[in-house]
Structure 1
Amino acid sequence: MVMALFAACPARGAEGEQAMSHASHHHGKRHEKHHAAVHEPAHAAKAHGRVHHGRTTPHKVAPAAPTTQPAPPPVPDNVGTETKLPLPRYAAMRADRVYMRRGPGERYPIDWVYHRRGYPVLIEREFGVWRLVEDQDGQKGWVHQVTLHGSRSFIIPGSVSYDGDASKVSTTGHADSRIVAYVPAGEVARGQNHDVPLMSSDKPDRTVVALLEPGAIGKIKACPQGSSWCHVTVRGYDGWIERRLLWGVQPGEIIQPD
Structure 2
Amino acid sequence: MNTTKASFLRSALAAFCVTLAGFGGAAAPGVAEAKEARGPVTNLPLPRFVSMKAAEGNVRRGPSLTHKIDWVFKRRGMPLEITAEYGHWRRVRDRDGAGGWVHYALLSGARTVLVEEDMLTVRARPEVNAPVTAAFEMGVVARLGKCHLDWCSISAGGYRGWAPKEKLWGVAPDELRD
Q: TM-score under structure 2 normalisation? A: 0.77
Task: Give the 3-state SS of the residue equivalent to 1:255 in structure 2.
Answer: coil
In the alignment of these two chains, the number of paired residues is: 148
Equivalent residue number for residue 142 of structure 2:
218
Pick aligned residue for 1:127 from 72, 80, 86: 86
| Runs of 4+ with deviation above 3 angstroms | 74-77
Equivalent residue number for residue 145 of structure 1:
104
Give the deviation of 1:204 after TM superposition. Answer: 4.6
Instruction: State whether structure 2 residue 130 is matched by structure 1 residue 206.
Output: yes
Give the deviation of 1:157 after TM superposition. Answer: 3.0
Instruction: State whether structure 2 residue 163 is matched by structure 1 residue 241.
Output: yes
CA contact (8 A) 1:136 1:157 kept: no
Equivalent residue number for residue 100 of structure 1:
59
Which ranges of structure 1 fall in alignment gaps of 5 or more residues? 1-70, 159-193
Equivalent residue number for residue 12 of structure 1:
none
CA contact (8 A) 1:100 1:141 kept: yes
Identity of matched residues, %:
37
AA matched with 1:131 = R
CA contact (8 A) 2:41 2:87 kept: yes
Q: 1:204 to 1:213 in 2, by over 3 A?
A: closer
Task: Give the 3-state SS of the residue equivalent to 1:230 in structure 2.
Answer: strand
Task: Give the 3-state SS of the residue equivalent to 1:146 in structure 2.
Answer: helix
Quote the Cα distance in structure 1 between the aligned partners of 2:92 and 2:116: 17
Instruction: State whether structure 2 residue 34 is matched by structure 1 residue 83.
Output: no
How do 1:1-258 and structure 2 match up within 5 A? 78-157=37-116, 194-224=118-148, 227-256=149-178
Bigger relative CO (Cα 8 Å, ≥ 6 apart): 2
Considering fraction of residues, name the structure with more strand: 2
Q: Deviations over 1:14-46 (max 9, x none)?
A: xxxxxxxxxxxxxxxxxxxxxxxxxxxxxxxxx
- Root-mean-square deviation (Å): 1.9
